[in-house]
Amino acid sequence: MSDPAQTPSRRSLFQMIGTVAGSAAMYHAMTVLGHAAESPFNGPIKLSAPPPGTSVLVLGAGIAGMVAAMELRDAGYRVQVLEYNNRPGGRNWSLYGGDVYTELGGATQTVRFDPGQYINPGPWRIPYHHQGILHYVNRLNVALEPFTQVNYNAYVHSTKMFGGKPVRYREVQADFHGHVAELLAKCTRQNALDQTLSKEDRELLLTALKDWGALDANYEYGKNLISAERRGYDIDPGGGLDPEPAPSEPRAMSDMLRSGLWAAIGAGHSYDMQSSIFQPKGGMGQIGKAFGKALEPLIQYNAKVIDIHQDAGGVTVAYVDSRSGGERRTATADWCVCTIPASILSQIPMNVGGPMRAAIDHLPYMASLKVGLQFKRRFWEEDECIYGGHTYTNQSNRVIGYPMWDYFSKGKGVLLGAYTFGREAFIAAARSPEQRIEDALECGARIHPQYRAEYECGVAVAWHRVPWALGCAGEWSDEGREQHYNNLCALDGRIILAGEHASRLAAWQEGSVTSALDAVERLHKRVMNA
């Protein structure tokens, strides 16, 4: 959420409206929603049988590497996977009680969560249109449950507005939409849109605005039972001789604008954040685990790749034990699918052409932080009726995410206490895990005063410190894509790259899947034409 801006210009006002409602939606008010774009995933791939004995080395056992390994194996290739970690999944990863995580610099955290509790330090949600990753989730029999992106009863919070008190998301959305609708209705009725819309359309627009913004008969947004149906009541309707319902008081338009709170209510509007969204039961890491099991004998763990060399005869990869270093070993194959993140690959000698090398060297990785906090009781549910979803704040923790499983269970729960990018995440990476947790507690306690009394333990993952990733995800610019993306993805001799970084779905597992499938198909075609 951005800080309060100065009084916004007309233009920035409409930009805000665009952010919140979608510009087309505001302009035409009631245009039919656009048709969802087709997923690039076209169903399971089917590769013909390769020449007997054809071999492929897959580097990295994240989602991309394991999708590639599975499809190649199924087609009849001899497949070997080399993985730095002692587990499958890569960034697909959940932390449970008993897990030990050592970050770069040496700080070691032992997770002390109770059984059944966990945090996803990396991926946590799968939008319904990510049909590629969903295909493998189903193929591997990983159980899914709903992920709640938007919770109308969670909070939006700014330390600078409303006495620093959090405000319910529901109220912010109702007030922002209501005031915008009222303004636009006023413009329409004062003939400001006569050049733009026909008379008939203007009348339809007024009807739509009344409905969309919860306006009264005079096209005004105010304290009444119409707006209460959106923003909630001071006294909720009840039964029998309960008191009569009483509406709540809307906040002023300028407060809405100046607070910057409007920025948070767009969170669920983008294509990737729209319902339905899913999460694997028991943690996102269940997908990686299931993949690992299905590929068991093929994956060699604790193998740190240090050199990749191709020549006319094949590909030779040198690696050492990632724990002890020691003796240099080699693996060879006819072909290589490399899914090592570009952040790390930029440091590994590999004889590919200049264009691919330039592409790899071009890509820095984003900063990101997640903090998991275990509390003795689920006070957000018990005291505040918040079941899943997120609270947004202008503080350095940015987000509080509520657990989206085991609702109403008596006992403990783990909150996502911070989820940040950019500035906040850079600063967090420079701090110790204990400092990151303390900061998340300090911020959270301003929203939920129960924090300090109920807190038990936590874990903090700053992605630039993750030894096998060196960052959250590739940070492509438009110019970078233009210049380097095709070169990154092109087959270079016997080597092809795949992974999140080799996709147009930055920081999504769907990018890893579609990238791996595309790489495998192109590689296979090359093999069959050899």
Partner 1 sequence: MIKIANGIAPRLSIAILLAALAPPARADTAAPAPEPRNPFEQQAGAEIYNGVCQGCHMPDARGASGAGAYPALARDRNLEIAAYPVAIVLKGQKAMPGFGNYFTDEQIANVVNYTRPRFGNHYRGKVPPADVKAMR
Ligand X SMILES: Cc1cc2nc3c(=O)[nH]c(=O)nc-3n(C[C@H](O)[C@H](O)[C@H](O)COP(=O)(O)OP(=O)(O)OC[C@H]3O[C@@H](n4cnc5c(N)ncnc54)[C@H](O)[C@@H]3O)c2cc1C
- Tell me if residue 193 falls in helix, strand or coil: coil
Site for ligand X in 317-356 (CB under 6 A): 339-341, 344
**Environment class of 56 (CB within 10 Å of its CB; exposed 0-12, middle 13-18, buried 19+):** buried
Smallest gap from residue 224 Cβ to partner 1 (A): 31
- Which residue is listed with tokens 């008596």? 410
Task: Give which of 56, 17, 4, 24 is closest to 523, Cα–Cα.
Answer: 56
Q: Torsion-angle region of residue 398: left (phi > 0), alpha (psi -120 to 50) or beta?
A: left
Query: Is 302 a residue that touches partner 1 (CB under 8 A)?
Result: no
Residue 331's Cβ-side half-sphere holds a number of Cα atoms within 13 Å equal to 24
- Which residue is listed with tokens 């699918």? 337
Query: Is 412 a residue that touches ligand X (CB under 6 A)?
Result: no
Contacts of 84 (CB under 8 A, 6+ apart): 60, 302, 303, 304, 305, 322, 467, 468
- Which residue is listed with tokens 């912010």? 172
Q: Which is nearer to ligand X, 56 or 257 (CB)?
A: 56
Q: Which is nearer to ligand HEC, 70 or 466 (CB)?
A: 466
Total interface residues for ligand HEC by CB under 6 A: 3
Query: Is 179 a residue that touches ligand HEC (CB under 6 A)?
Result: no
Q: How far apart are CA 82 and CA 157, in angstroms?
A: 46
Site for ligand X in 357-396 (CB under 6 A): 368, 370
- 332 binds, options partner 1, ligand X, ligand HEC, none, Cβ within 5 to 8 A by partner type: none
C-alpha distances out from residue 505 to 310, 372, 456, Å: 29, 26, 36
Q: Which is nearer to ligand HEC, 31 or 347 (CB)?
A: 347
Q: Is the dihedral of CA 411, 412, 416, 417 positive or negative?
A: positive
Stretch that binds ligand X, among 72-80, 293-301, 408-416, 502-510 (CB under 6 A): 502-510
- 223 binds, options ligand X, ligand HEC, partner 1, none, Cβ within 5 to 8 A by partner type: none
Task: Give which of 266, 234, 235, 236 is closest to 248, Cα–Cα.
Answer: 234
Stretch that binds partner 1, among 21-29, 206-214, 328-336, 342-350 (CB under 8 A): 342-350
> Which pair of structure tokens corresponds to residue 422?
């950019």
Smallest gap from residue 229 Cβ to ligand HEC (A): 48
- 91 binds, options ligand X, partner 1, ligand HEC, none, Cβ within 5 to 8 A by partner type: ligand X
Query: Is 464 a residue that touches ligand HEC (CB under 6 A)?
Result: yes
Q: How far apart are CA 414 and CA 455, in angstroms?
A: 10
- Which residue is listed with tokens 């068991």? 296
Stretch that binds partner 1, among 61-69, 161-169, 379-387, 426-434 (CB under 8 A): 426-434
Smallest gap from residue 420 Cβ to partner 1 (A): 9
Contact predicate 513/64, CB 8 Å? yes
- 339 binds, options partner 1, ligand X, ligand HEC, none, Cβ within 5 to 8 A by partner type: ligand X
34, 98, 105, 449: which one binds partner 1 (CB under 8 A)? 105
Q: Which residues bind partner 1 (CB under 8 A)?
A: 1-2, 19, 84, 104-106, 123-125, 263-264, 266-267, 270, 272, 304-305, 322, 340, 342-344, 346-347, 361-367, 390, 392, 398-399, 401, 419, 421-423, 426-431, 462, 464-471, 473, 475-477, 479-480, 483, 504-508
Q: Which residues bind ligand X (CB under 6 A)?
A: 59-65, 82-85, 90-92, 122-126, 303-305, 339-341, 344, 368, 370, 463, 468-469, 472-473, 499-500, 507-512
